[in-house]
Chain A
Amino acid sequence: EPEVTQTPSHQVTQMGQEVILRCVPISNHLYFYWYRQILGQKVEFLVSFYNNEISEKSEIFDDQFSVERPDGSNFTLKIRSTKLEDSAMYFCATKEGLANEQYFGPGTRLTVT
């Protein structure tokens, strides 16, 4: 069964550094999402992406965050200057155009020290 993959599984970075989290969507999926989950808290929506542009973003998704699909396959989340409070699990999710359910990847655990 096709699945969403994410790399790396765990990223440790120092405060102020840039990180790029990568997601490989299911091949025929056209809608892409990033969510995050701080340890012990709810899963929170960050951003949705369709047709090479952001379709919706949350208040969390400020100017430090950006997304792109640089090569038509990978979907990336960049955090320009990480803060301690960015430490969380980051989940990518993708969705086929006409289907209703989102498929989530296994997540990247980001630890900012």
Chain B
Amino acid sequence: DAKTTQPPSMDCAEGRAANLPCNHSTISGNEYVYWYRQIHSQGPQYIIHGLKNNETNEMASLIITEDRKSSTLILPHATLRDTAVYYCIVRVLLGGYNKLIFGAGTRLAVHP
């Protein structure tokens, strides 16, 4: 699985958009970009994933660059409850039992 690089921490004001970057310059053509988050020692929570097209769901948007070497997770209107560690994970989609490999992630602090 390709390695990812994320900034260790970021701040965001409540109500503003939080843009969390992730570099994955060694990504392979069959690898997807996944985002999970972990709120204060709770179990990680799936947010979104994509291959090459931009994706949006009720939680966030995922923007993947055309060369797929980096991506950005966007929380359009951050709230205090979005304070968490955000993990960018790149892996193949085997459709089976493949594991998740977590890095250190980005610690996002949303402040009033």
- A residues sitting closer than 8 Å to B (CB atoms) are 4, 31, 33, 35, 37, 42-45, 48-50, 55-56, 58, 89, 91, 93, 95, 98, 100-107
Contact = CB atoms under 8 A, between A and B. Distances in A.
Contacts of B96: 31, 50, 55
A42 B99 contact: no
Given A44-B102, A107-B41, A31 B97 contact: yes
A91 B36 CA distance: 14
Contacts of B41: 37, 89, 107
Nearest to A4: B43
Nearest to A43: B102
Nearest to A32: B97
A43 B38 contact: yes
Interface of B: 32, 34, 38, 41-46, 49, 87, 93, 95-104
A42 B93 contact: no
A45 B99 contact: yes
Binding site secondary structure of chain A = strand
Contacts of A103: 46
Contacts of A50: 96-97
Nearest to B103: A42
A58 B87 CA distance: 20
B99 A101 contact: no
Given A89-B41, A106-B42, A100 B93 contact: yes
A35 B38 CA distance: 13
B43 A105 contact: yes
Given A43-B38, A43-B44, A91-B44, A56 B99 contact: yes
A42 B102 contact: yes
